[in-house]
Amino acid sequence: MLIITVLSIVLIHIIPKYFTITKRYNRNSYYLHYKKKYDRCQFDPEGPVPAILMALGRSGSSVTWDTLSRLAGDGEPTISHEVTGGNKEKSIAFFDQIEDHINERWASLRLCNIQRYHRDKSKGNKNRYSLVGFQWKPYLATFDHHYAVDGLRRVADDGLKVIYLTRNPLDRYISNQRHKGFIHSDEIPAHCDVNDIDCVERHKKHSKGITINVKDEERKHKFIASLENSLRADVMIEDRLNDLNVTYVHVTYEKLFDGDAEATDEADEWKRILTFLGLSKEGLTIGDARATFQLASTSTNKHSLSIANFEEVASLLKDTKYEKLLH
């Protein structure tokens, strides 16, 4: 009777949790079978290089990863999904829902299983995958979450690599303004294929005349605060990476996608990342990198063209630390 009672109590405790997990992740979920597969993943030193691409929104993370994957020599480019959430709300939900048995290992285990997935996939399709990983958007609302901090600490302990990508805060601000309200529109999608001239033209047409509202003190303060928050976030994120001894490389959108560079110039910023990953390419040029671009640039390099009230904005930023953001 005692044994039956104990078993009944255990089943009462386990069964509801089982069905909750099954409903949420389906029967093939790694959460359901983690002890057999997901949780026991071991990195393959001969497998694709695993890495995390860390970047805030509108920093060019998608095209950066796609280009890196192609430059690495993959038979087929890989995709780095926004695992931690594509917006603040999704990011909060992600970290709050990490299971206790995964805890601080979530990032390392995710990378390991992504590597294993592509390693096993290559056996079937005979493609060679050199670089695999996921995107992490380091929102301030979640970057102090204990699983975010502990996850990075574990990444450092496991010797895993992070690519930290930043972009001029003013350009990120303009990009956000341009994409508000039409990110998911069929007429003006978030990205354009490099050969989709019509899509590029629609983007450029929409981007003309972006006005930054600085008509009164309240709006001026809001605009400046946005730039300041972005600058602080950049510093805070890099400080965190340094404090936790994470192995990372810091690169910038401006150097990666320098529209003024000649095709014959050395692609130094791309080479820095590839060397960091152990996938170095000698003699890589800007032309080589551009030849792999699958997503077209839909922005201009000159703020005088992308900001309708450029003179007004330039006057506001003059003689402040934000003036250097203008180009």
Lowest mean pLDDT among 1-15, 208-222, 283-297: 1-15
Domain housing 221: 44-325
Which of 129-143, 149-163, 166-180, 303-317 shows the lowest per-residue confidence on average (mean pLDDT)? Answer: 166-180
| Helix intervals (H) in the chain | 2-25, 61-71, 88-96, 106-125, 140-143, 146-157, 169-179, 197-207, 217-243, 253-256, 268-276, 286-292, 303-306, 310-317
- 29 falls within a domain: no
Q: What is the CATH number of the domain that holds 109?
A: 3.40.50
27 located within any domain: no
Asked if residue 75 is part of any domain, the answer here is yes
Which pTM was predicted?
0.83
The predicted pLDDT at position 207 comes to 54
Vertex 300, ends 290 and 205: CA angle to 5°? 110
Q: What is the pLDDT of residues 271-280, one digit of tens each?
A: 999 999 999 9
Indicate whether 6 belongs to any domain: no
Does the pLDDT value for residue 1 go beyond 80? no
Checking if the pLDDT of 11 tops 70, the result is: no
Q: How many domains are there within the chain?
A: 1
Higher pLDDT, 191 or 149: 149
Average pLDDT, the chain: 87
Give a yes or no: residue 217 inside a domain.
yes
Confidence (pLDDT) at 28: 38
- Residue 38 inside a domain? The answer is no
Residue found by looking up tokens 């960091």 in the block: 276
The mean per-residue pLDDT over the stretch 23-40 comes to 51
Residue 322 has pLDDT above 70, yes or no: yes
In this predicted model, what pLDDT tens digit does every residue of 219-254 receive, in sequence order?
999 999 999 999 999 999 999 999 999 999 999 999
User: Would you say residue 186 lies in a domain?
Assistant: yes
Q: Which residues are registered as beta bridge partners of 250? A: 164
Give the burial string for 21-34 (b: 16+ CB within 10 Å, else e).
Answer: beeeeeeeebebeb
pLDDT band at 31, cuts 50/70/90?
very low
Share of the chain above pLDDT 90, in %: 69
pLDDT in the model for residue 25? 38
Return the structure tokens found at 144. 């102090």
What does the alpha-carbon distance between residue 219 and residue 93 come to, in Å, rounded to a whole number? 31
Sequence-separated contacts (24+) of 208-215 with Cβ below 8 Å = 208/305, 208/308, 209/308, 210/174, 210/177, 210/178, 210/306, 210/307, 210/308, 211/307, 211/308, 211/309, 212/173, 212/174, 212/177, 212/307, 212/309, 212/312, 212/313, 214/309, 214/312, 214/313, 214/316
Average the pLDDT over 242-270 and give the result.
96
The answer to whether residue 21 is domain-embedded is: no
pLDDT at residue 4, rounded to an integer: 73
Instruction: Report pLDDT digits (tens) over 33-52.
Output: 445 578 889 999 999 999 99
- pLDDT of res. 115: 97
C-alpha separations of 230 from 72, 120, 138, 236 in Å: 31, 40, 11, 10
HSE-CB for 257 with a 13 A CA cutoff: 25
